Structure 1
Amino acid sequence: MSTDKNRATAAAILPLVGGPDNISSIAHCMTRLRIALHDRSLVDDEALRALPAVLGVVEDETYQIVLGPGTVARVTPEFEALVEEGRAAGHLPRTPVTAGELAAQGAALKEAQRARNSTPVKLFLRRIANIFVPLIPALIGCGIIAGLNGVLLNTGWLPTVVPALAAIASGFMSLIAVFVGYNTAKEFGGTPILGGAVAAIIVFPGVTKIDAFGQHLSPGQGGVLGALAAAFLAVHVERLCRRWVPESVDALVTPTLTVLVSGLVTIFGLMFLAGEVATAIGSAATWLLSAGGAFAGLVLGGLFLPLVMLGLHQALIPIHTTLIEQTGHTALLPILAMAGAGQVGAALAVYCRVPHNRSLRTTIKSALPAGFLGVGEPLIYGVSLPLGRPFVTACVGGAAGGAFIGLFNQLGAPFGATAIGPSGWALFPLLDGPSGLGPNLAIYAGGLLTGYLAGFVATYFFGFTRQMLTDLDTDQAPTPAAAPPAATEPSLAEI
């Protein structure tokens, strides 16, 4: 039955994005179906947003339909199958009535979007995110298993199962550098397996016999940062080889030189340097939260939503991964997740302030469940950002929740998340820290409640001008969700 439902969702989406022949590629991440389109003008945005399964749409380099965690992984294969069936049957996309005008309009939309989101910094950060996002499902799965194993270990239950769960939870993390190297080479145009091969040097136990910079190397030294740098170097070495090595010996010489040159540089340079950087990141994060406490949490929680809007939050992904690799959890994620709590509080205040605007209240009611689970797009692009001031007051809520958690870090109760990806209530199973499960859950729940309350109060009293209330608190007021602005990677669930 669920398969029929997922196929029905895919079938409803397909004609609204222009049909099978309007699609050049299909992919999905944690929450979104990502589609590359030939002609953007063939997409019916309003009809897509009206579909019950669609939580929102976001336009970036690809057209992104927000379906939520779990759902997107089930709908995407059905969507791919329908596209293939449609192409095999010779199905054509809908033809515009005035092809010239609509084509020009679509080209203008694409160009405007590309100009906004194609700055060198954003493009680079997006590519870094593309390396780590495919790893998130494994990080989540292994993180939850690690949490379960910790509970069994502390309670003394099922002692024979604990070693097995420890192996399952730790196996992926012990080799994460290899996956990062593989994805790095793939993202930057090299041969993925060569990137993985060079990165594998970092986790090879035999590096303990090698002396570099006056000290013996240790397996894993440099971690994901070293793997990223090593694979990036391998891509460039491979390109040089492809340019100068004769085709007759390319299959032998190019892989050998790529692995050899990149491997030597990794062993006698990158592992040490990346290890120093990784240690500095861990020390800086620990110092920031232990010394800065509430103030650090306030700044981090308050600025995260603007960072998301600018696409700069992607720079945090390698930092999160490095912290998880070093300490088993990232202490930054629970604080940053408070931005979502502020967003929920702001949306609840909007709901209360516009009792006569049934369309807006319906949008909020449908988006709140996803917001509580950390999927922020529907509330951001359907409510707060189009209204303006509630977006700012949502940041106030995030700052308050971040300050609450930061304060407890300073008081000696640090904790973090064993994986990146979820936020909101979905982060509870991933919490870990030296204080124990109970205090970790209580502090995080307190932060969420603080974020909800502060976001609500700030929005209720300061989120509207009199003119805004006059315009919005009526049945005839337009629904902000009808035309959310384009965005760059906004999801709180994809940090």
Structure 2
Amino acid sequence: MAPENKNRATAAAILPLVGGARNIDSIAHCMTRLRLGLKDRTLVQDEALKALPAVLGVVEDDTYQIVLGPGTVARVAPEFEALMAEETSQPPLTAAELAHRGAELKAARKQRNATPFKLFLRRIANIFVPLIPALIGCGIIAGLNGLLVNLGRLTGVTPALAAIASGFMALIAVFVGFNTAKEFGGTPILGGAVASIIVFAGVAKITVFGQTLAPGQGGVLGALGAALLAVYVERWCRHWVPEALDVLITPTLTVLLSGLVTLYGLMFLAGEVSTGIGHGANWLLDNTGAFAGLVLGGLFLPLVMLGLHQALIPIHTTLIEQQGYTVLLPILAMAGAGQVGCAVAVYLRARRNGSLRNTIKSALPAGLLGVGEPLIYGVSLPLGRPFVTACVGGAAGGAFVGLFSMLGDKVGSTAIGPSGWALFPLLQGNHGLGTTVAIYAGGLLTGYVVGFLATYYFGFTRQSLTDLNASPSPTEPAAPKPMEPAHS
């Protein structure tokens, strides 16, 4: 089957199982998930949906999320939208059908993890997640350019590669401003317009608090704050400005007032915060590297479960903007290594549990590439103690990378998103690519080995191991595919 036909077939299989086109309010996708806003949650056929070969799992959060995996989701989403357009062009539902759906609308929808803090973190993630593909692409090009420069090869091409890799980062504040206004209900282009002030070269002529502003000062944090301010100024204008004058006065006041506050306050304050983040991360790893790595690597899986990892996205982006790479991501990636080692140990210990072993075999390749949720939710977390031993493996790998950072060999990533083996093309450090790759690989190996040993010898009680191997034989149907948490 041709790839386009395969993707359309996947979309066609999914659409009726989520209640059809008229049950969908919105559609979007991130790195791995098709995110649907549903009118009536009760119309979704969860088990049939999870049984589809292309579906890796489903997540019910603020949107209904169907996990298709990186690459696949970007190809299925347009086909899904095309099928929706075709279906909605058909005759509408009868009055009786509409009345029935209206009576049940939102009746069964649940608010899971809907605390104000977590909802705020999700909105922050929604601002930065759409930027990840560009960060990855530009990061890999930057790494390739650095390699060619170091080797002295293709010197006529390297300036062009440098321009391609750096262009997005030079204007990332504008994209953050655009997405911030969009996420918080303002006019996206006005958010981008205000944020663009931060990267304008002419700000170097402005003095604030006795200091001359620098283009880019405040970075993505300043852009986020400026665009958020623009949203509130725009709302105020929409409320007070007469409709006849709205098209002239509202955008003018929004850009003017928000721009002045950005220039004479936000850029300076956000610049201080951004500088503090950079200095803080470097100080932490320079002085407490092994301990910091142990804590960060060991606690990252629980942070992902709680949704608190989303708070790190602006920090990663700030570090990349300031230093060219984030030193935190390679350490946090060690959590996935501990999970992989744990899964291999469970596979060996559960010799008679065909269902669990099949789950591990199908999820392990994704785990090696940094997609650890199927292993977490299908293997370690349901078993209990193996989840803890997986965290121990992550802590050991994090301590390994952190130790070398304390010794002066920093390991960073030029983009956020990938981890595991998928992070190798994005690695960058302060002592050459060979050293950086060797340290990161050593951390992964440490995480694998410690996660495996901790799980193999301490991951089970005698009774739990007996119960585990009393499960169905390999000839019986495999367990349902695991669900993912609400992030990507």
Q: Establish whether TM, by shorter chain, passes 0.5.
A: yes
Following TM superposition, the consecutive aligned residue runs of length 4 or more in structure 1 with deviations greater than 4 angstroms are: 90-93, 477-481, 483-486
Report deviation, 1:91. 8.5
Equivalent position SS for 2:260: helix
The aligned counterpart of 1:158 is: 154
Does the alignment pair 1:177 with 2:178?
no
Between the aligned partners of 1:293 and 1:305, the Cα distance in structure 2 is 19
Of 444-453 and 384-393, deviating more is 384-393
- Give the alignment of 1:251-270 within 5 angstroms: 251-270=247-266
Report deviation, 1:31. 0.8
Q: Using a 3 Å threshold, how does the CA distance of structure 1 residues 364 and 91 change in structure 2: closer, same or farther?
A: farther
The aligned counterpart of 1:121 is: 117
CA deviation digits over 1:287-319, x for unaligned, max 9? 011111111000000111111111111110000
Report deviation, 1:103. 5.4
Between the aligned partners of 1:370 and 1:479, the Cα distance in structure 2 is 22
Match of 2:468 among 468, 472, 490: 472
Q: Using a 3 Å threshold, how does the CA distance of structure 1 residues 92 and 146 change in structure 2: closer, same or farther?
A: farther
The aligned counterpart of 1:14 is: 15
Q: Using a 3 Å threshold, how does the CA distance of structure 1 residues 435 and 75 change in structure 2: closer, same or farther?
A: same
Equivalent position SS for 2:37: strand
Report deviation, 1:486. 7.6
Match of 1:191 among 187, 197, 202: 187
Q: Using a 3 Å threshold, how does the CA distance of structure 1 residues 91 and 427 change in structure 2: closer, same or farther?
A: farther
Between the aligned partners of 2:326 and 2:425, the Cα distance in structure 1 is 14
Of 299-308 and 454-463, deviating more is 454-463
The aligned counterpart of 1:482 is: 480
Does the alignment pair 1:63 with 2:64?
yes
Q: Aligned letter for 2:480? A: A
Does the alignment pair 1:23 with 2:24?
yes
Of 223-232 and 380-389, deviating more is 380-389
CA deviation digits over 1:60-119, x for unaligned, max 9? 1111111111111011111121222222235979x99xx89x959x844x23xx1x3110
Provide structure 1 residue ranges, at least 5 long, that are not aligned to the other structure. none
Of 404-413 and 383-392, deviating more is 383-392
The aligned counterpart of 1:72 is: 73
Report deviation, 1:416. 0.4
Q: Using a 3 Å threshold, how does the CA distance of structure 1 residues 39 and 396 change in structure 2: closer, same or farther?
A: same
Report deviation, 1:18. 2.5
Of 371-380 and 36-45, deviating more is 36-45
Report deviation, 1:466. 2.4
Between the aligned partners of 1:485 and 1:328, the Cα distance in structure 2 is 34
Between the aligned partners of 1:482 and 1:413, the Cα distance in structure 2 is 44
Between the aligned partners of 1:11 and 1:289, the Cα distance in structure 2 is 50
TM-score, length basis structure 1: 0.93
The aligned counterpart of 1:231 is: 227
Does the alignment pair 1:142 with 2:142?
no
Instruction: Tell me if the contact between 1:293 and 1:403 (Cα under 8 Å) persists in the aligned partners.
Output: yes
Instruction: Tell me if the contact between 1:354 and 1:474 (Cα under 8 Å) persists in the aligned partners.
Output: no
Match of 1:276 among 272, 279, 290: 272
Does the alignment pair 1:132 with 2:128?
yes
Of 375-384 and 11-20, deviating more is 11-20
Instruction: Tell me if the contact between 2:341 and 2:451 (Cα under 8 Å) persists in the aligned partners.
Output: yes
The aligned counterpart of 1:308 is: 304
CA deviation digits over 1:260-309, x for unaligned, max 9? 11111111111000000000000000001111111100000011111111
Equivalent position SS for 2:403: helix
Does the alignment pair 1:411 with 2:407?
yes
Instruction: Tell me if the contact between 2:341 and 2:447 (Cα under 8 Å) persists in the aligned partners.
Output: yes
CA deviation digits over 1:410-445, x for unaligned, max 9? 111102000001111110000011111111111111
Q: Using a 3 Å threshold, how does the CA distance of structure 1 residues 389 and 77 change in structure 2: closer, same or farther?
A: same
Between the aligned partners of 1:280 and 1:424, the Cα distance in structure 2 is 29
Instruction: Tell me if the contact between 1:383 and 1:480 (Cα under 8 Å) persists in the aligned partners.
Output: no
Between the aligned partners of 2:223 and 2:158, the Cα distance in structure 1 is 30
Q: Using a 3 Å threshold, how does the CA distance of structure 1 residues 480 and 117 change in structure 2: closer, same or farther?
A: farther
Between the aligned partners of 1:368 and 1:271, the Cα distance in structure 2 is 45
The aligned counterpart of 1:88 is: 89
Match of 1:353 among 333, 342, 349: 349
Equivalent position SS for 1:396: helix
Q: Aligned letter for 1:466? A: R
The aligned counterpart of 1:207 is: 203
Does the alignment pair 1:327 with 2:323?
yes
Q: Aligned letter for 2:12? A: A
TM-score, length basis structure 2: 0.94
Q: Aligned letter for 1:221? A: Q
How many residue pairs align between the two structures? Answer: 481
Equivalent position SS for 2:435: helix
Equivalent position SS for 2:55: coil
Instruction: Tell me if the contact between 2:374 and 2:482 (Cα under 8 Å) persists in the aligned partners.
Output: no
Equivalent position SS for 1:117: coil
Between the aligned partners of 2:322 and 2:121, the Cα distance in structure 1 is 22
Between the aligned partners of 1:92 and 1:473, the Cα distance in structure 2 is 51
Instruction: Tell me if the contact between 1:55 and 1:377 (Cα under 8 Å) persists in the aligned partners.
Output: no
The aligned counterpart of 1:38 is: 39
Q: Using a 3 Å threshold, how does the CA distance of structure 1 residues 404 and 86 change in structure 2: closer, same or farther?
A: same
Between the aligned partners of 1:463 and 1:20, the Cα distance in structure 2 is 46
- Give the alignment of 1:345-384 within 5 angstroms: 345-384=341-380
Report deviation, 1:33. 1.0
Equivalent position SS for 1:404: helix
Q: Using a 3 Å threshold, how does the CA distance of structure 1 residues 468 and 485 change in structure 2: closer, same or farther?
A: farther
Equivalent position SS for 2:53: coil
Match of 2:385 among 363, 383, 389: 389
CA deviation digits over 1:121-141, x for unaligned, max 9? 001111111110111110000
Instruction: Tell me if the contact between 1:400 and 1:454 (Cα under 8 Å) persists in the aligned partners.
Output: yes
The aligned counterpart of 2:420 is: 424
Between the aligned partners of 2:458 and 2:315, the Cα distance in structure 1 is 35
RMSD between superposed Cα atoms in Å: 2.2
- Quote the sequence identity (%): 75
Report deviation, 1:49. 2.5
Equivalent position SS for 1:168: helix
Equivalent position SS for 2:65: strand
Q: Aligned letter for 1:482? A: P
